[in-house]
Amino acid sequence: MLFPLRDYRRSQSFPWVTVLIIAINVIVFLYQALVMGQNPSKVRVQIGGEVGVISHYDYFIYKYGLTPCEILSNCPLFSVTDFPVWMKLFSSMFLHGDILHIASNMWFLWIFGDNVEDAMGKVRFALFYFMAGLVAAIAQILTNTHSVSPMVGASGAIAGVLGAYLLLYPFARVLTILFLFVIVQLIEMPAMIVLGFWFLLQVISSLLGGGAIQGGGIAYMAHIGGFITGLLFVRFFAKRPSPPSPV
C-alpha cells in the first residue's frame, strides 16, 4: 500500500482555486457534522407511498447527495425534497461520509492540485475539476442504475486531478509511505508509480466488488471515470508553454 505525503514540485503561484475548494468542503462538512448531526429532531419523509422519519443528518445526505435511481428517473427519492435532482451532480462533490473520508480527499487534492492548477490556470482548473467530477458521477450512475445509496465525496473530481498530474508530471518525485505487511518505510517515488498504483487499486477493487456502493462503500467506478477523464482531457485544459523570448 502506498500513501503520498508530499511532492517536491513547487507551484509557481498560490493555488487559490485548490484552497477555495478545500475550504468549501471543510465548511460543508463542519455544518453537516456539527449542526445537522447534533439535531435530535426527526424529519418526516414520504418514500413512494410510505411515510417514515429519518434524522436531519441522513436527510441532509439524501437531499444533497447523488442517488443513481433519482438521476435516471428525474424524481427525488423523498417526496418532500425540494432540491433539483440534477443539481445533486455537483452538490454531492462537497459532501463527505466521515472525517477520514474528507481528510484523505483533501490531502490528495492539496498535494497534487496546486501543480495542476499551475499548469491550467485558475479558471480552466476550476472547469476541469467540475467536469471530472461530473463524468465520474455519470460513470458511477451508469454502473449502478438501481442504487438507492447516496454517493457523496470529492474523490471523483480529485481522481481527475490525479490523472492530469500523471500526464503533466510523470517523473515528479513524491514522498510516499510504503506499507508492506508490518514494515512501514518512507520512500521517494516518481508520480507515475504512485498514481499508477492508485489507479490499478481502484480497477482491481471495482472488479472484485462489482463497482457497487453498498452501505457506505466506495464508488470505485467514479474514481476510474474521473481518472480517465483527467488523462484524456488534460491536454485541452493545460496552458501551452510560452515560446522563449528572442535574445
The tens digit of pLDDT for each residue in 164-197 reads 999 999 999 999 999 887 778 999 999 999 999 9
Q: Please report the pLDDT score of residue 243 as a whole number.
A: 43
Residue with cell 407511498: 49
Asked if pLDDT for residue 141 goes beyond 50, the answer is yes
Q: Please report the pLDDT score of residue 246 as a whole number.
A: 42
Overall average pLDDT of the 58-71 stretch = 85
- Other beta carbons within 10 angstroms of residue 23's beta carbon come to 11
Cell numbers describing residue 234: 488534460
Q: Could you tell me how far CA 34 lies from the centroid of its own chain?
A: 22
**Chain length of the chain:** 247
Question: What are the chain's domains?
Answer: 2-237 (1.20.1540.10)
Overall average pLDDT of the 35-57 stretch = 74
Q: Please report the pLDDT score of residue 85 as a whole number.
A: 85
Question: How large a percentage of the chain has pLDDT more than 90?
Answer: 62
Class of residue 63 by CB neighbours under 10 A (exposed 0-12, middle 13-18, buried 19+): buried
What is the Cα–Cα distance from 104 to 101, expressed in whole angstroms? 6
* Vertex 101: Cα angle to 100 and 106 (nearest 5): 95
If one compares 51 and 88, the residue with the highest pLDDT of the two is: 88
Q: Give 225's pLDDT tier (boundaries 50, 70, 90).
A: very high
* Cα dihedral 19, 20, 24, 27 sign: positive
What is the Cα–Cα distance from 40 to 50, expressed in whole angstroms? 22
* Vertex 60: Cα angle to 56 and 65 (nearest 5): 150
In tens, the pLDDT along 68-121 reads 887 777 666 665 567 888 899 999 999 998 999 999 999 999 999 999 999 999
Overall average pLDDT of the 120-137 stretch = 98
